[in-house]
Amino acid sequence: MNRNYQKELDRIIQKRGKTVPRVLLHACCGVCSSAVLEYLTQYFDVTILWYNPNLYPQAEFDRRFQAQVEIIEKMGLTEQVNILAEPWKHEDYLKRVKDLENEPEGGDRCTECFRLRLMEAARLCKHYGYDYFCTTLTLSRHKDAVRINALGEEIGKAFGVAWLPSDFKKQGREMRSRDLANQYGIYQQLYCGCEYSLHKREEKETE
């Protein structure tokens, strides 16, 4: 049976009562986080986790982080949303995907990339005592929400923390994220992030 992650999230929101749960939200970029923040900050105390060792080169990592900061500022969320930022640790990513370099885009290499970032989110969720951890990755139609939620649940159980289910692309939020990025002049990247997706993009442009 297909699960409806948006309905699961709606139920969690409805059951929270007057409490404002704390969620550690892993963000992959400023564009994807825009509509997600607009939505989640209505119901949660949100902290952004910026941990994206997959990004390449470092100039791209820096540019996307700046876009993340800018969207929070331009949406007027600086008083509501904190950022927990880690530096560029590309070696973390390269170790994780060793021997998967030739995997196709969207395959096992991407799964391990998701796993790496969600494990760090879960670790910090436990360390700082957040009520939930989550990721903006499910906003994109190019990302498998079922796979990401399954990983989140598995990792959450391993770390003893609660995963917040999501399929953020629902209810028009993917398009909303683009609208917000255009409205505020936020940098919109042209490739997923790693050197493998960059090379794929370059090959297509050459063709």
What CATH code is carried by the domain that includes residue 95? 3.40.50
- What is the average per-residue pLDDT within 94-105? 95
Helix axes 30-40, 58-74, angle to 10 degrees: 30
- What is the average per-residue pLDDT within 8-16? 96
Give the position of tokens 């030739």: 102
Evaluate whether 3 touches 164 at the Cβ level (below 8 Å): no
Q: What is the identity of the amino acid at 98?
A: K
Question: Six-digit token pair at 107?
Answer: 């395959």
CA dist 18 and 79 (Å) reads 20
Containing domain of residue 62, as a range? Answer: 5-206
| Neighbour-count burial of 21, counting CB atoms closer than 10 A to its CB (0-12 exposed, 13-18 middle, 19+ buried) | middle
Residue 121 is predicted with a pLDDT of: 98
Q: What is the pLDDT of residues 29-68, one digit of tens each?
A: 999 999 999 999 999 999 999 999 999 999 999 999 999 9
CA angle 18–24–30, rounded 5-degree value = 115
Under 8 Å CB-to-CB from 73, ≥6 apart: which residues?
none
Mean pLDDT value across the chain: 96
156 pLDDT more than 90:
yes
| First-last CA distance in the chain | 41
Residue 1 is predicted with a pLDDT of: 59
CA dist 28 and 135 (Å) reads 8
CA dist 150 and 109 (Å) reads 16
> Domains in the chain: how many in total?
1
Evaluate whether 193 touches 56 at the Cβ level (below 8 Å): yes
Residue 203 is predicted with a pLDDT of: 82
Stated length of the chain: 207
205 pLDDT more than 80:
no
User: Is the model more confident about 203 or about 24?
Assistant: 24
